[in-house]
Structure 1
Amino acid sequence: MIEIKDIYKTFGDNDVLKGISATFQTGKNNLIIGGSGSGKTTLLKCIVGLHEPTKGQVFFEEENFTDMDFTQRVPIRTQIGMLFQNSALFDSMTVEQNIMFPLNLFTKQSAAEKLDRANFCLERVNLKDKNKLFPSELSGGMKKRVGIARAIAMQPKYLFVDEPNSGLDPKTSIVIDDLINDITNEYQMTTVVVTHDMNSVMGIGDHIIFLHQGQKWWEGSNKDIAHTYNKELNDFVFASKFMQAAKEKL
């Protein structure tokens, strides 16, 4: 479980986050949604420590992450897996080397143990025997799956995913959503996903917080969305559906 309390983040005169509190539940797909500039990615970065909140606190299993120094944060950081928007694979490394990168940094496993773990993770994301390929040889969807494999290499308790379906076609997006959902349930991780993809929201949104102008504007599940009277959320949701329908007609 992750709890955030009264998170503010200011850049110069720009108040990006304004007093956000929420609890992200274990074994659930916790989604952060909202329009461009609403503060989604900034909030994600505040939770994992890539940004320091201007005010407020972040707790991992009741441990105050915000008040820890760099060294104190290391044990929690080794339990965090991250999938960045562009997958952030190292172009000069093979798929196998990319997945083993965190194992090389944070474990004392033997070469054979690290290879076994890399092979297991590749099989888990349906990329068996792709070890020796380089990122330039992969499709967008395959890169995302390698990113997921690397994110789970350390068997994390917490998985953070930023726009997993960015740049992917609808069919591949469903594959990625299903994979995130399956892994979350299988390993009972606390998964936090930043997305603007309404198909993801309706498909895997166990717990959703909607940000509007840097504030938490609504909270609920994908089942609750259809029954909400929140104007800004409805505008966001149905505008997204309208745009998708319009694209499909072209």
Structure 2
Amino acid sequence: MIEIKDIHKTFGENKVLKGISANFIAGKNNLIIGGSGSGKTTLLKCIVGLHEPTKGSVFFSGENFTEMNFEQRVPIRTHIGMLFQNSALFDSMTVEENIMFPLNLFTKQTAAEKLDRANFCLERVNLAGKNKLYPAELSGGMKKRVGIARAISMQPKYLFVDEPNSGLDPKTSILIDDLINELTEEYNMTTVIVTHDMNSVMGIGEHIIFLHNGEKWWEGSNKEIAHTDNKELNDFVFASKFMQAAKAKL
């Protein structure tokens, strides 16, 4: 389980996060939702250590990650998988090399063992045989799947995903959601997903945190979200569904 306590993040005079506390449930899809500028991605980066909170603490399985130095964080980071919004693949590396990158960084596996793991991960995301392609040769959906393959290469306990459906068509978005959901269940991972996609929220949102103006405004499941009387959440849900319906007609 991941626990965050009273997380604040300030950039100059801009208070982006204002005292957020929450638990992210092991073996579940934990979604962070909210409008643009609500602090979703900043919170995700604070949890994984890409940003240091101005105030507050992050705990991984009871260990205070925030108080650790770089060296002390390494054992926890080896259990973290991350899929960035733009997939963040290295353009100069092949698919195979991209997936093996964290294995080269954090393990002492032999070249054969790393290749076996890369092949397994590619098969798991339905991209077997695409080893020697470069990112420029991949579609948007394929890049996301390679990003997921790299994220699971270390068999992580924790998977963090930033806007997995950004730039994808609705059909591919559903395939990516289904894949993340399957992997979460298969590996019993604590998965944390930042998204504004209401199809994802209703499809795989087992535990949802809604941010509004840098604060936690609502918390619940996708089954509860349809019955909430929270005005700001209802406004967000309605606007998101309206925009998705409009895009589908274009």
Range of TM-score over shorter length: over 0.9
1:122 & 1:185 partners in 2: Cα distance?
Answer: 18
Is 1:155 aligned to 2:134, yes or no? no
Q: TM-score, normalised by structure 1?
A: 0.99
Residue matched to 2:85: 85
Gaps of 5+ in 1: none
2:70 & 2:128 partners in 1: Cα distance?
Answer: 36
Residue matched to 1:122: 122
Residue identity in the other structure for 1:77: R
Is 1:208 aligned to 2:208, yes or no? yes
Residue identity in the other structure for 2:72: Q
2:249 & 2:164 partners in 1: Cα distance?
Answer: 25
Residue matched to 1:186: 186
Residue matched to 1:174: 174
Residue matched to 1:217: 217
1:240 & 1:249 partners in 2: Cα distance?
Answer: 15
1:139 & 1:247 partners in 2: Cα distance?
Answer: 20
SS of residue in 1 equivalent to 2:32: strand
Q: CA RMSD in A?
A: 0.6
Residue matched to 1:42: 42
Residue identity in the other structure for 1:200: S
Is 1:237 aligned to 2:237, yes or no? yes
User: Counterparts of 1:98-117 in structure 2 under 5 Å?
Assistant: 98-117=98-117
- 1:243 is displaced (CA, Å) by 1.5
Runs of 4+ in 1 over 6 A off after TM superposition: none
Gaps of 5+ in 2: none
1:55 & 1:135 partners in 2: Cα distance?
Answer: 38
SS of residue in 2 equivalent to 1:241: helix
Identity of aligned residues (%): 87
Residue matched to 1:135: 135
Residue identity in the other structure for 2:27: G
SS of residue in 1 equivalent to 2:19: strand
1:245 & 1:83 partners in 2: Cα distance?
Answer: 27
1:78 & 1:248 partners in 2: Cα distance?
Answer: 40
